[in-house]
Amino acid sequence: MADEIVAVLGTGTMGLPMAANLRRAGFAVRAWNRTPAKAEPLADLGAEVFDSPERAVAGADFVLTMLADGPAVDAVREAVLGSGAVWIQAGTVGVEWTARFAEAAERAGVPFVDAPVLGTKQPAEQGKLVVLAAGPDELREKCAPLFDAVGARTTWVGPAGAASRLKLVANAWVVALTNATAESVALAETLGVDPRLFLDAISGGALDVPYAHLKGGAMIARDFPPSFATRHAAKDARLVLEAAGDDLDLAGTRAALAHLEAAVKAGHGDDDMAALYYGLR
Ligand SMILES: NC(=O)c1ccc[n+]([C@@H]2O[C@H](COP(=O)([O-])OP(=O)(O)OC[C@H]3O[C@@H](n4cnc5c(N)ncnc54)[C@H](OP(=O)(O)O)[C@@H]3O)[C@@H](O)[C@H]2O)c1
């Protein structure tokens, strides 16, 4: 494994620590990022940084894409497929883009793993993500060292597409929890109740969830260092609604999306998704 080469395309909040952990685990890492400065810290770990995706993927055994959305991944698709490396698609791009990438990979004869992750900046730094993996069974063993380097566990869920569907299910939960937390915090403030009393009241009981304290604490402090950007949470809420189609009434996701979009419009797109709070105001 130590000699295997991983090209990492996208070294943002998640891609950078994932690439660093791959390097620490002994992989040779070749990195590319649209804004080159964000990839530069990897050079200190012995990774090579390239100025184009084509150069980064040359000779790689794996290509890990950790880019913002479907169009960003699509922009590097030809480079990835041209490399012939196993394509690990880890960014959250939803059902339709994943199907397109899986089909393109199949046509090109390139092994493809749909591998979105659960967890945010800190778990990514700690190598404690949960990898949701979907793809051919014969790739499991080959991918295991890579996934072990970035994650605490890997859940294989079936053919490509299945992991992205599970990811959307989980992210519907994430945006719902954040929205519910924002509503209770904002309601407390409006009623003249200290919102910390709300967090204390639910603490340790059946109503408690760590996310309420994490995101609620940020809302109360009005401090939103980005862990998961508001604009990406809005993108994911849109992907959830698109995937759900017209026959399912996801009113909670729609409400969360409205708040997220209002927060983005108010200039909080790059803040942590807890800034959804501003969408209520
Ligand atoms: N943060 C989380 O908690 C988390 C958790 C699980 C999954 N995810 C998902 O993982 C993906 C990456 O998230 P992140 O938090 O790392 O986001 P991020 O910090 O915003 O990084 C996004 C990356 O995509 C690149 N990019 C954006 N548009 C591009 C384009 N048109 N062409 C080329 N590159 C482009 C960015 O390049 P620049 O640096 O040049 O902008 C950057 O490398 C997203 O799909 C997100 O939803 C995030």
> pLDDT tens, 131-158?
999 999 999 999 999 999 999 999 999 9
Q: Which residues pair with 32 in a beta bridge?
A: 9, 50
Distance 187 CA to ligand 1 centre (A): 32
Tell how far the Cα of 227 is from the centroid of ligand 1, in angstroms: 11
In the chain, at which residue ranges do the beta strands (DSSP E only) sit?
5-9, 28-32, 48-50, 62-65, 86-89, 112-114, 117-118, 129-133, 151-156
For this structure, is 167 an active site residue? yes
Which residue has the least CA distance to atom 43 on ligand 1?
Answer: 10
Low-confidence stretches of the chain (pLDDT < 50) are none
> What is the spatial distance between Cα 146 and Cα 48, in angstroms, rounded to a whole number?
18
* Cβ of residue 67 lying under 6 Å from some atom of ligand 1: yes
Pairing verdict, β 112-114 and 129-133:
unpaired
pLDDT at 3: 81
Is 14 near ligand 1, meaning CB less than 6 Å away? Answer: yes
Kindly report the average pLDDT of the chain as a whole number: 97
Residues in the chain: 281
Q: Is the Cβ atom of 34 under 6 angstroms away from ligand 1?
A: yes
Query: Pick the catalytic residue: 167, 215, 235, 265?
Result: 167
CA of 9 to the centre of ligand 1 (A): 10
Burial of 157 (0-12, 13-18, 19+ CB in 10 A): middle
User: Tokens in use for 184?
Assistant: 């209770």
In the beta sheet, which residues pair with residue 89? 65, 114
The pLDDT assigned to 274 comes to 98
Adjacency order of strands within the sheet including 112-114: 48-50, 28-32, 5-9, 62-65, 86-89, 112-114
What DSSP character marks residue 138? Answer: G
d(CA 76, CA 199): 44
Q: Determine how many CB atoms are found less than 10 A away from the CB of residue 203.
A: 11
At how many degrees (to 10) do helices 15-24 and 140-150 cross? 110
Query: Is the CB–ligand 1 distance for residue 11 below 6 Å?
Result: yes
